[in-house]
Chains A and B, each alone.
Chain A
Amino acid sequence: MAIHEAQRRLVEEYSERGYQFAFGLCGNSEDAKELVQEAFYRILRKWDSYDAGQPLEGWFLGILRNLYMDSLKRYERRHGVSLDAPLAGRSGGDLNLADAMADPNEEALLDRLCRRNLGARVRRALDGLSREHKAVLTLLDIEGLTYGQIGQVMDCPLNTVRSRVNRARAALKKVILEKGKEAYADGL
Chain B
Amino acid sequence: MRMDCELAGESLEERAAGLLPAARAAELDEHISLCPACARQLRWISGLKASVRALPRAALPAELRAALLDAAGPRPGPLDWLRARRATAAGLGFASAFAAAGLALWLRAPEERLPLDEVLTEHGRYEATMPAADRESLYAGLAEAGEAR
Q: Is the CB of A23 within 8 A of B58?
A: yes
When the two chains form the complex, which single residue of A4, A23, A94 contacts B73, counting CB atoms closer than 8 Å? A4
Is B107 in the interface zone, CB < 8 Å from A? Answer: no
Q: State whether A3 touches B54 (Cβ < 8 A).
A: no
Chain A interface bracket (under 10, 10 to 19, 20 to 34, 35 or more): 35 or more
- Identify which of B51, B64, B71, B75 contacts A119 (C-beta below 8 A): B51
Contacts of A119 in B (CB 8 A): 51, 54-55
Quick check: B19 and A165 within 8 Å, CB to CB? no
Give the residue of B10, B58, B84 whose beta carbon is less than 8 angstroms from that of A166. Answer: B10
B residues 1-46 touching A (CB-CB < 8 Å): 9-10, 13-14, 17, 19, 37, 40-41, 43-46
Q: Provide the residues of chain B in CB contact with A90, threshold 8 Å.
A: none
Across the interface, do A110 and B57 meet the contact criterion of CB distance under 8 Å?
Answer: no
Separation of A146 and B43 alpha carbons in the complex (Å):
20
The answer to whether A10 touches B72 (Cβ under 8 A) is yes
How many residues on B have C-beta within 8 angstroms of the other chain's C-beta atoms?
Answer: 40
A154 interface residue per 8 A CB criterion: no
Check B138 for interface membership: any CB of A closer than 8 A. no
Report yes or no: A33 in contact with B64, Cβ–Cβ below 8 A: yes
Q: Helix, strand, loop or mixed for chain B's interface?
A: helix
Nearest-neighbor residue (CB-CB) of A114 within chain B: B47
Beta-carbon contact of B43 and A110 below 8 Å: yes
Which of B19, B49, B52, B84 makes the CB contact (< 8 A) with A147?
Answer: B19
Q: Is the CB of A8 within 8 A of B65?
A: no
For the complex, is B68 an interface residue (Cβ under 8 Å from A)?
yes
Can you identify 13 A-B contacts, CB atoms within 8 angstroms?
A: A1-B84, A4-B73, A10-B72, A11-B72, A20-B57, A97-B9, A113-B44, A141-B49, A142-B55, A142-B57, A147-B19, A162-B14, A176-B48
| A residues lining the B interface (CB < 8 Å) | 1, 3-5, 7-8, 10-12, 15-16, 19-20, 23-24, 29, 32-33, 36-37, 40-41, 44, 94, 97-98, 101, 110, 113-114, 116, 118-119, 122-123, 126, 137-138, 140-142, 146-147, 162, 165-166, 169, 172-173, 176
Residues of B at the A interface (CB closer than 8 Å) are: 9-10, 13-14, 17, 19, 37, 40-41, 43-55, 57-61, 64-65, 67-69, 71-76, 80, 84
3 closest cross-chain pairs (CB), A and B:
A4-B73, A113-B47, A7-B72
